[in-house]
Amino acid sequence: MPRQKADDLRQLKTEELEQKLVVLAEERFRLAFRRGTEAIANPLQFRTIRRDMARIQTILRERKRAS
């Protein structure tokens, strides 16, 4: 999944952001599981996924505080 800009994410609905967060969490879990059993081709994926998740969580928190 390519890196998402915060402006692009802000245009999505809250339900879509929550769904993306679930997908990213599952992807991170699978990648961590694979890391335990085999070599990961691109270890920077962990950083990218973690930052995308943080970006989405920040937008969701902003929306929750605004309402």
What are the boundaries of each domain within the chain? Answer: 6-66
- What is the spatial distance between Cα 29 and Cα 42, in angstroms, rounded to a whole number? 15
Please give the CATH number for the structural domain made up of 6-66.
1.10.287
Q: How confident is the model at residue 5 (pLDDT cuts 50, 70, 90)?
A: confident
Residues in contact with 43: Cβ distance below 8 Å, sequence separation at least 6, in sequence order: 35
pTM of the model: 0.86
Is pLDDT above 60 for 1? no
Summarize the confidence of residues 54-67 as an average pLDDT. 95
**Tokens 């081709």 sit at which residue?**
41
User: Average pLDDT over the chain, rounded to whole?
Assistant: 92
